[in-house]
Amino acid sequence: MKKFFLLAAAAVMVFASCAKSDQPEVSKDKAIGFKSYTGRTVTKADADFFIPKAQTWLNAQSFGVYAYNSANAVFAQADIANYGKFMTNQEVEFTGEQADQADPDAYTYSPTRYWPNDGANNLLSFWAYYPYEALTKGFEANTFTVGTDPTKMVDLLVSDVKNDMQYTAQNKGIVPFTFHHALTMVKFAVKTDDDYPSDVVIKLEELTVNGVKVNGTITPTYTAGTTTYEWAVTGDATPFKVCETATALNEEVQYFPTNDEVEAAYLMIPHTDITAVKATIKYSVKVGSDDAVVNTAEVDLKTTEVATWAQNMSILYTFTVGLKPIKFTATVLPWEEVVSGITL
């Protein structure tokens, strides 16, 4: 089995602002703008690594932003309830292409917000997430559910906190979010162990993955300028019917589920313990005019290569099936010569 790690970014941010009843005086010529960066810690990522591409903010999708005003105090997660709420789940739309992530003009939102005139006493901290309305509680524990339909996967992204910001000539009022994938990408592939003759037909009949939980709680932590996230899975396990239609196999790798519109992949809640996650594989073998023989195997998905399903990780499981031919060996023993004397 092989595993591949892909990485990329998502957004969740926090904001600081000591509780105040009055809004700070703002500079009408200093609008708050946004740009983003999608970081990758692993190779083999390309421009379409978001899965599925049609449902990512790279295609005119929007993300949510929270901003907090901590007055002149350094942002601290423990004090977030006391900060002024400068932005509360503000929808920001990205209207550009992949290459436009760093272009502030590619991001729009309404109504426009402006930086406070007295920035030193109105420090703003920002947090963002994608897609909009997926995490509505702000920078705190949020629940999330993944679906079992691979054509409707949601690529949940969370950002680093951009803390203690004010308008400067250097940043020109732009908030640069760095996004990270919060989920685990899991792919499945099946192939035969050999290039069999045409009278041998091997088909994948069913492939089901059991022991996966689809509900979880994601909890952010901000400490000394570093933002981290921790998942806790909840609820009962849900089976994933990866393949339910008989499909002929060969020596070439085939990905399941098969779909012409999206990459064959699932976005799963990260699991620190995948001991209970198992795949049930049913495949048939037909040789010549003989009746097809159906084989069923259960395989542990916790392997020496993959012990957990972690955030930002892309994992490929490849199953290899085939014939177990009956073979013979033979040993020819030497003649045993027996001499018998007969007296007449």
pLDDT in tens, 75-128: 999 999 999 999 999 999 888 776 778 889 989 999 999 999 999 999 999 999
More confidently predicted of 297 and 340: 297
Percent of the chain with pLDDT over 70: 85
Mean pLDDT of 231-245: 95
3-state SS of the chain is CEECCCCCCCCCCCCECECCCCCCCEEEEEECEEEEEECCCCCCCCCCCCCCHHHCCCCCCEEEEEEEECCCCCCCHHHHHHEEEEEEEEEEEECCCHHHCCCHHHEECCCCCEEECCHHHCCEEEEEEECCCCCCCCCCCEEEECCCCHHHCCCCEEECCEEEECCCCCCCCEEEEEEEECCEEEEEEEEECCCCCCCEEEEEEEEEEECCEEEEEEEEEEECCEEEEEEEEEEEECCEEEECCCEECCCCCEEECCCCCCCCCEEECCECCCCCCEEEEEEEEEECCCCCEEEEEEEECCCCCCCCECCCCEEEEEEEECCCCCCCCCCCCCCCCCCCCCCC
Here the CATH number for the domain that contains residue 51 is 2.60.40
Q: 111 lies in a domain?
A: yes
Q: 127 lies in a domain?
A: yes
pLDDT in tens, 268-294: 999 999 999 999 999 999 999 999 999
Predicted local distance difference test score (pLDDT) of residue 263: 61
Residues 245 and 263 in one domain: yes
Residues 231 and 283 in one domain: yes
Q: 32 lies in a domain?
A: yes
Tell me which residue range forms the domain holding 103.
7-183
Residues 145 and 223 in one domain: no
The mean predicted confidence, pLDDT, of the chain is 84
Q: 35 lies in a domain?
A: yes
